[in-house]
Structure 1
Amino acid sequence: MIHIEELVKAYDGFRAVDGLSLQVGTGQILGLVGPNGAGKTTTLRCLAGIIPPTSGRVTIAGFDLQTHPLEARKRLAFVPDEPHLFDHLTALDHLTLFSRLYGVADGPARAEALLEEAGLRDQRLSFPSELSRGMKQKLVVACALLHRPEVLVLDEPLTGLDPAAMRRMKRTVRDTATAGAAVIVSSHMLQLVEEVCDRILIVNRGKKVLIGTLDEIRLQFPDVDADADLETLFMRATGADQ
């Protein structure tokens, strides 16, 4: 579903992403982790078609993002680390707009169901200025899920959420993958990644350091405990423990 081949994004000679390759299949959840400035958000923006790569190839559900951008983007939803909403549209208006843009046949019913699932039913007629940071985040995710994307990309999805909303968001991510989507979750919350992701990609300075299941990554460090958590492995892999 997601294929990235030798992705490079350079700025004035500096490679923010440096030859990154990865695949995420149907029903899989990949966690993307790395230190600040490691190239995570740049990678996701290239994947979402927001910024063009310097070189390399991105394929979404079989469509090359460069040669078939509309077909690729139809099948993808990207949730950025900061929620961007229209000031003069209510929560329901946002979902109605996305429904029309994507031609969702059951748009009205789907919108109401997503508002209910996100815990925003009472805010359905509220404007962004009347919503908390966490509510805005939940609304952006609801908009992303409206057209049932085949690929879902989330950048720091738990920012601003209270514990109950965090639990709901984790369930939403799992349910989306179970329904057949390929999912990438980028987060500094390593416990989230460890809990919901099938595989984990650790990047540093724009390059892949390690990729695999938690158990596979543990095998790369024979001197750590057999049940070492992702935080311990992350520190070792990135050299942050030195």
Structure 2
Amino acid sequence: MLEIQNLTKVYGKVKAVDNVSFLVPGGQVGILLGPNGAGKSTIIKSIAGLLRHDGQVRICGLPGRSMEAKKIFAYVPEIPAMFEALTVREHVEYIRKAYNSQVSDDEIEFILKRFELWDKQDKLGNELSKGMMQKVSICCALAIKPKVIMLDEPMVGLDPQAIKELKEVITELKGFGVTVLISTHMLEMVEGLWDIMFVMQKGHIIGSYRKEDVGNKELEDLFFEMTGGGK
């Protein structure tokens, strides 16, 4: 479970996020939507612990800033950052040891092969394309076997095969009871994945929909219905 309570972030005299609250239950996929400047990135960075903020973030009932919460939380940023002098495999091993992960060598092999990185294990961080860095970031997140995972525009830069694999991974994580939050503007990419959507506008959550309540309505139609926009 991921719970946000009264989250507020102020830059100078500007409230980028104003008293936002929402919850993604365990085993469900939440989608955070909104136009540029709506406050999505601020919320994502606040949840990840990268920004100081008012309000609370709770991960499986634990305070978001606590070490216990951080051990079960994974974050895939929109712009992945690699260590230039570490190889692909060393990035994964670094995360594995930092989190004292119980993931096995066979599981690491499976993850790397799944995202077509097995034969690229020895490539250095400064040799990777944006798409490859994104895949390494995803593999590192999966290597800790998180109970809550947050992905910020995870499909930008990925090739079609990697997008397909990531969608399958998200579905599998959901089946294992993992909480997933995805921030994106690529509505078509998450159409078949979401359980609950939250729409942001000008620093506020202006509404939400649960998939079970909207029947066969498409995500794009629901988004524009709430924001008053159009195709």
Distance 1:38 1:5 in 2: 18
Give 3-state SS (helix, strand or coil) of 1:211's partner. Answer: strand
**Are residue 34 (structure 1) and residue 62 (structure 2) matched?**
no
Deviations 1:149-203 (A, max 9, x none): 1100000000111111111111111111211210001111101222211111111
Distance 1:130 1:87 in 2: 8
TM-aligned CA deviation for residue 214 of structure 1? 4.0
Superposed counterparts of 1:73-92, under 5 Å: 73-92=70-89
Matched residue pairs, number? Answer: 231
Q: Residue 9 of structure 2 corresponds to which residue in structure 1?
A: 9
Q: Residue 223 of structure 2 corresponds to which residue in structure 1?
A: 234
Q: Residue 223 of structure 1 corresponds to which residue in structure 2?
A: none
Q: Residue 63 of structure 2 corresponds to which residue in structure 1?
A: 64
User: Counterpart amino acid of 2:98?
Assistant: L
**Are residue 211 (structure 1) and residue 208 (structure 2) matched?**
yes
TM-score, normalisation: structure 1: 0.89
8 Å Cα contact 1:76/1:149 also seen in 2: yes
8 Å Cα contact 1:96/1:111 also seen in 2: no
Range with bigger deviation, 149-158 or 171-180: 171-180
8 Å Cα contact 1:28/1:183 also seen in 2: yes
Give 3-state SS (helix, strand or coil) of 1:71's partner. Answer: helix
Which ranges of structure 1 fall in alignment gaps of 5 or more residues? Answer: 219-225
Q: Residue 184 of structure 2 corresponds to which residue in structure 1?
A: 187
Deviations 1:202-232 (A, max 9, x none): 111111111122464x5xxxxxxx8542223
Give 3-state SS (helix, strand or coil) of 1:141's partner. Answer: helix
TM-score, normalisation: structure 2: 0.94
8 Å Cα contact 1:154/1:184 also seen in 2: yes
Give 3-state SS (helix, strand or coil) of 1:196's partner. Answer: coil
The alignment yields a C-alpha RMSD, in angstroms, of 1.8
Distance 1:179 1:97 in 2: 25
Q: Residue 123 of structure 2 corresponds to which residue in structure 1?
A: 126
Q: Residue 221 of structure 1 corresponds to which residue in structure 2?
A: none
Q: Residue 50 of structure 2 corresponds to which residue in structure 1?
A: 50
Superposed counterparts of 1:84-233, under 5 Å: 84-214=81-211, 216=213, 228-233=217-222
8 Å Cα contact 1:4/1:23 also seen in 2: yes
Same amino acid, percent of matched pairs:
35
Distance 1:116 1:45 in 2: 30
User: Counterpart amino acid of 1:150?
Assistant: K
Range with bigger deviation, 110-119 or 138-147: 110-119
Deviations 1:22-58 (A, max 9, x none): 11111110011000011111111111111121x2111
TM-aligned CA deviation for residue 128 of structure 1? 2.3
Distance 1:241 1:19 in 2: 27
Distance 1:17 1:194 in 2: 26
8 Å Cα contact 2:9/2:15 also seen in 1: yes
Distance 2:103 2:157 in 1: 30
8 Å Cα contact 1:49/1:73 also seen in 2: no
Distance 1:38 1:214 in 2: 22
Range with bigger deviation, 155-164 or 107-116: 107-116
TM-aligned CA deviation for residue 241 of structure 1? 3.4
